[in-house]
Amino acid sequence: MTLPDSDRHDIAAGRHGDPFSVLGLQQVDGRFVLRAFIPGAEAIEAVDIKTGRRIVSLSPVKDTPGLFEGVATRRKKPFAYRYRVTGNGHTWTEEDAYRFGPVIGDMDEHLINEGSHRQLWRILGAHVMIHEGVAGTHFAVWAPNALRVSVVGDFNLWDGRRHAMRRRGATGVWEIFVPGAGDGAVYKYEILDAGGNPLPQKADPFGFGAEHPPRTGSVVRSIRGYDWSDADWMSSRADLQRHDKPVSVYEVHLGSWRRVPEDGNRPLSYREHAEQLVSYASDLGFTHIELMPVSEFPFDGSWGYQPVGLYAPTIRHGTADEFRAFVEACHAAGLGLILDWVPGHFPEDAHGLGQFDGTHLYEHADRKEGFHPDWNTLVFNYGRAEVSNYLTANALYWLQEHHVDGLRVDAVASMLYRDYSRKEGEWVPNKDGGRENYEAISFLQNMNIQAYGEVPGIMTVAEESTAFPGVSAPADQGGLGFGFKWNMGWMNDTLSYMAEDPIHRKYHHSKMTFGLHYAFSENFVLPLSHDEVVHGKGSLLDKMPGNGDEKFANLRAYYGFMWGHPGKKLLFMGGEFAQGTEWNHDSSLDWHLLEHSQHHGMQSLVRDLNGLYRACPALYQRDASPEGFEWIEENNAEESVFSWLRRGEGDTPPVLVVSNMTPVTRTNYLVGVPEPGVWLERLNTNATVYGGDGNGNMGSVRTQEREVAGRPHALSLTLPALTTLFFVPERD
């Protein structure tokens, strides 16, 4: 035996930190020595990979079951081989993982060390490949403080002694090529901390697939070679997602949009969504679908906002390639796809990122920095280059590998401020004694720079609820670099106003007008999202005052107000047909409500609002510019009437929007307009087709030559109760 006792004991115990220096083909005192550790083996021969002839028989090492050693006395240079193994009455051949060289190259190591690898997912994780002429899977994981890392799975009977990995210098990365492991193999990483203590088995931070919850293993999924068919969309989307284009987003939770009651009430698959959801959203005139997080997550009740597998589309609806088929279907229908992305925090599940190698690797060690009290989750350490690289690469991964058109970044405010939801003494100030999280700010800026720089035509959207300046301003001008920002203030104010009994609305008039004081400070999206219909808040319809018909009329008028207001649009699923109950992530939407005229009418209204929005450039071209908006009447609190003009570029026809937010019909109501002639009533939320009583202006109104509100012409309008009206001038 040529192996020292210390190595022999560590290999048998699965504690050896450098197994590639011991196992496989080694040169010892000028001779080639083969060593194999195969628990359960009774005899092992090394055979020629071409002829199958025996090269050398390996002898069992005394007092070390499973460890064999042999000297190839007739070989003068390294040679290729495989093992013929006998055990438990069977004989088989297998490749030796320890005969294969590294896969990760020097440049990859350099970029990993710098924290600047823009395609980090193509190096780390599990990749099916042909390596040195043999099919298998290359595994690589970052665990710099581990004593030993092994990949375990079905292919080695989950024995951490079988495939202990190779450490790659100062990178902290461990890698191994496992011959024969292929697509669909379940695996985890078995890690010993610096003291040699075993940790809970970890899922792969870069895993492209996962087992069905509650199982927690990663699954090998090949992400190469998908035959995309969306080249036309990809080449044109840059023009479709600009600030001066219509953006109307249908927000969806895939697990509860529609279920199959006759099949155990299961949610739809990605392929079923590709048929049903895509055609539905397209028919309603939305420009985009936004999915609540699809990165793999353990707990259904988190709705995906506590992810463990950031690189794996959740298996709840299918595989990565099936998710790509859904993306393709969106693009074929002319729909962009936005994903909710969660780089702000992660759960403490034992198989996740927390204390990954026995240290606070991805998270802060100090709970005052590294723990979110709101969600009982851990906070990423954005100041660590490798962590920032991990997250930025993840954004690029979804945009590049899955052709996603945009990312909506969740809970940005919680990232920007160190004292977010923390009491005095429960947070750590920045280096200047302030509350801003400089590291998170830098991360978000860098993410946006790389996303827009590397992937043409995409958009990023921030869910940011504070007055932090420049969220959608370019990073090189001191902004965060997002393309758009959710307007949470508008949403809170206007919903609060709409919840008031109309008799009291005159006292809250400013809640509908205040948003225009800052409407052009950012590139805003007006969100009526899932957050407004959960946790006891009820549905949008339920928030409206009055009896049944009045509730519908209020909601129709509100949607009209929203679609006429500056800012892109977002509506959570169910809102388009006035879902009556609060959203339940475990149940399908109440599709049966469409059998009732009021609900069907609401759906028709949303379809027509989207159609009008896309047909009238004045409603979107100058969303982020004060030149695109002009109050006609903003101070009529007594009658709760609002009227304004939307203007587009050049000679684009303006759009007049008038909202009457009381249950009183107003006749001969004078509204000043900038040009004479006939103004067409393009949409009336009180139309019978939408569930209203049909009262309105008979399709058009001709101006009177009289000055009203400082304008030389006026329209004498009928303003139906609880109604929003849209008018455009008739031009040759």
- 138: nearest Cα among 170, 163, 108, 159: 163
Torsion of CA 599, 600, 605, 608, to 10 degrees: 160
300 belongs to the catalytic site:
no
Active site residue 410: yes
- Determine which one of 7, 193, 296, 463 is catalytic: 463
Give the max Cα distance, the chain.
109
Q: Distance between CA atoms of 70 and 23, rounded to whole angstroms?
A: 11
Q: Give the whole-angstrom CA distance, residue 170 versus residue 189.
A: 20
* Helices 385-401 and 106-114, packing angle to 10 deg: 120
Determine if residue 268 is left, alpha or beta; phi over 0 gives left, psi from -120 to 50 gives alpha, anything else beta: beta
Regarding beta strands 371-372 and 377-378, do their DSSP bridges make them parallel or antiparallel, or are they unpaired?
A: antiparallel
Tokens standing for residue 347:
């759960």
Cβ(653)–Cβ(616) under 8 Å? yes
CA gap 578, 600 in Å, rounded: 9
Active-site annotation holder among 45, 363, 410, 439: 410
Q: For residues 472 and 158, give the distance between their C-alpha atoms in angstroms, rounded to a whole number.
A: 48
Which of 429, 431, 446 shows the shortest CA–CA distance to 389?
Answer: 446
Distance of CA 377 to the CA centre of its chain: 18
CB 252 within 8 A of CB 573: yes
Q: In the chain, count of helices (H) and strands (E)?
A: 14, 36
Do 169 and 124 form a contact (C-beta atoms < 8 A)? no
Closest alpha carbon to 290 in 223, 346, 335: 335
- Element spanning 400, H or E: helix 385-401
Active site residues: 410, 463
